[in-house]
C-alpha cells in the first residue's frame, strides 16, 4: 500500500512538471523489480506496454509530460525480456554445437529444463511491443531527452539489430529494432545517440 502511494505521488509530481520526479523514474522502475514480472510470465508487462502505446497515440503532445515514466518502465521491461530471449538463444546454440551432428530446432532439449532454451511467449511479446513503443515515442516526441534511457535501450536492441538482415524482406515490415533505429535517426538531435558506443551490432 505504501509503495502504491509512492508511485501515485510520483505520477502526480511528474504530471506537474517536477524535474526531480521525472529524473527519478529510472531508479523507481528498477527498485520496483519489474524484471520479476517478465520472468514470471505475467501478462501485466504486455498490458502496460499496450496501454502506454495507446496513450502515446491518443494523448498526442500531452503524453510528453509522462514520457519519463513511460520510457523508463518500457526500457526496463525491454531489458529483461531481451536478456531472457538472448539467454535462451545462447543456450540453444551451445547445446547444438555440443552435438554431433548439430541439432536443429531444439531437438534433444530436456523438457524439464526447456525454459532455459526457449524464452516464454510473454517475454518475446514484451520485447517486440516495448521496442515498437519506443520507436513510436522517438517518432512522436523527438524533443524528449532520451539520453538517460538510451544505454539500456541500445544494449537491449543490439542483438536484434545483428539479426535484422535475416529477419527483414521487401515484402514485410521492418523488424522492430530497425524501425526503432530509423525513428532515432530521423531527428538530428536524437541521431547523436546512435554515435554512442552502446550500440554494437557486429
DSSP assignment of 6-22 equals HHHHHHHHHHTT-HHHH
Q: How many CB atoms neighbour CB 75 within 10 A?
A: 25
Is the torsion defined by CA of 187, 47, 30, 9 positive or negative? positive
**Residue found under cell 512538471:** 17
Its pTM stands at 0.81
Which residues are CB-neighbours of 182 under 8 A, at least 6 positions away? 135, 174
- Spatial separation of the C-alpha atoms in residues 1 and 8, rounded to whole Å: 11
Q: Cα angle vertex 53, ends 80, 143, to 5°?
A: 95
- Spatial separation of the C-alpha atoms in residues 199 and 202, rounded to whole Å: 9
- Spatial separation of the C-alpha atoms in residues 84 and 123, rounded to whole Å: 7
As given in the structure block, the three cell numbers for residue 153 are 535501450
Q: Quick one: DSSP state of residue 175? A: P
pLDDT in tens, the chain (202 residues): 555 558 788 988 998 889 999 999 989 988 888 889 998 889 999 999 999 999 999 998 999 999 999 999 999 999 999 999 888 777 767 776 676 555 555 555 454 455 554 567 888 899 999 999 999 999 999 999 999 999 999 999 999 998 776 655 545 667 899 999 999 999 999 999 998 754 544 4
**Residue found under cell 502496460:** 48
Amino acid at each position: 500500500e505504501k509503495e502504491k502511494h509512492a508511485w501515485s505521488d510520483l505520477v502526480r509530481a511528474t504530471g506537474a512538471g517536477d524535474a526531480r520526479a521525472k529524473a527519478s523514474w529510472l531508479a523507481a522502475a528498477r527498485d520496483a523489480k519489474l524484471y520479476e514480472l517478465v520472468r514470471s510470465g505475467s501478462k501485466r508487462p504486455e498490458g502496460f506496454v499496450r496501454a502506454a502505446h495507446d496513450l502515446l497515440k491518443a494523448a498526442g503532445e500531452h503524453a510528453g509530460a509522462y514520457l519519463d515514466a513511460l520510457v523508463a518502465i518500457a526500457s526496463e521491461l525491454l531489458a529483461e525480456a531481451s536478456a531472457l530471449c538472448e539467454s535462451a538463444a545462447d543456450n540453444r546454440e551451445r547445446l547444438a554445437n555440443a552435438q554431433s551432428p548439430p541439432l536443429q530446432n531444439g531437438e534433444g532439449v530436456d523438457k524439464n529444463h526447456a525454459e532455459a532454451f526457449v524464452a516464454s511467449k510473454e517475454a518475446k511479446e514484451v520485447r517486440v511491443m516495448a521496442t515498437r513503443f519506443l520507436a513510436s515515442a522517438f517518432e512522436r516526441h523527438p524533443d524528449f531527452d532520451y539520453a538517460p534511457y538510451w544505454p539500456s535501450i541500445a544494449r537491449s536492441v543490439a542483438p536484434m539489430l545483428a539479426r535484422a538482415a535475416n529477419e527483414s524482406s521487401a515484402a514485410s515490415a521492418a523488424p522492430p529494432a530497425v524501425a526503432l533505429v530509423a525513428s532515432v535517426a530521423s531527428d538530428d538531435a536524437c541521431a547523436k545517440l546512435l554515435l554512442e558506443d552502446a550500440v554494437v551490432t557486429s
